[in-house]
Amino acid sequence: MMSNHTASGMDQIFDRALEQNPHSAELLKAFRPVMTRQRRLTDSLTLPSLDYSAVDRNRLRAGVPFIRQIPLFSPEDPLDRIALSLAEAVKEGMPKLTEEMDRLSALISGGKLRWKDCFGARPGGENEEPRASGLCNSPSNASLLWSLTARVLLERRGREASKALEPFDWEKGYCPVCGEFPSIALIEEEGGRRFLHCSSCGQDWRFTRVVCPYCEKEAQKGMDYFYVEGKTQESAFVCDRCKKYLVTLYRAGRLLARDMDVSAVSLVHLDMILQDKGYKPMAACAWNVFE
């Protein structure tokens, strides 16, 4: 199965991505310090233990993800510390956001913005955006910092949850951990298995190739793959019923380490082409929304 890499290999992964995808260099450079910091924080994070035995397998079979069965966030989680660290990484990769990150950091440090007081989970795993005084001028930047922060915690929980998921076949197109739809897929050329990747928590899961992950349409007709000429390893799955697409990689071997979020940023040209054709991504990410 594909998997996100830990912090130790991120420099090599980004260097290779920049070499292979010069058209995405600006975005890759912007997200390099952010994603590297996220992996480092995830690797070093210590969280209160959760009782994953409380997850109901029958509800899992019915498509109810972890986040709707047990609380994946707790008041003891170091949300503020993670957010302040990531704000510095955002400033490094996206200097234009320096003033806004400084403002949000001041709110957090001054106790006027407390992520733990803002968090909630709506059905379907969609995380509520933070609400606090001083956010009205730039809700999108607050939402960006919140999603980056939540990713660190959710990825750590997702690693733990993977052990509980090992003997279980998840059959939905949305994430078994956080309930979000995938941002990218990978197809193994040997055997043709398709794996979906969640950008919200980093979870990977196997999913059939003949069903649309978003609307669950099962048919070859009306579903296709869009390719750029000369790029046989890169494509986008498109569904004409729900008008959604999913950027997709093909992998012949496993010699090189890969981070699926870095791969998704590298394939942003596919996002631009498909959105210009009237399709929308299955998961809106910081790098694939162009409105």
Summarised one tens digit per residue, pLDDT across range 225-268 is: 888 877 778 899 999 999 999 999 987 556 456 899 999 999 99
Cα–Cα distance between 15 and 60 in angstroms, integer?
A: 39
Which pTM was predicted?
A: 0.88
* Alpha-helix runs per DSSP H in the chain: 10-20, 25-44, 57-61, 79-93, 98-109, 115-118, 139-165, 260-266, 268-276
Output the average pLDDT for the chain: 85
User: Quick one: DSSP state of residue 89?
Assistant: H
What is the gyration radius of the CA atoms in the chain, in angstroms?
Answer: 19
- Dump pLDDT digits (tens) for 100-158: 999 999 999 998 887 777 655 333 333 343 333 334 344 588 889 999 999 999 999 98
Q: Which tokens in the block code for residue 177?
A: 């951990």
- pLDDT tens string 79-91: 999 999 999 999 9
Name residue 224's beta-bridge partners: 238
pLDDT of the residue at 130 = 38
pLDDT of residue 6: 62
Q: State the amino acid at position 186 in one-letter form.
A: L
For the segment 168-200, what is each residue's pLDDT rounded down to a tens digit? Answer: 788 999 999 999 999 999 998 777 889 999 999
Tokens of 139: 């809700």
Q: What are phi and psi of 43, to 5 degrees?
A: -65, -35
Alpha carbons 280 and 230: distance in angstroms, whole number: 24
Model confidence at 291, in pLDDT bands (50, 70, 90)?
A: low
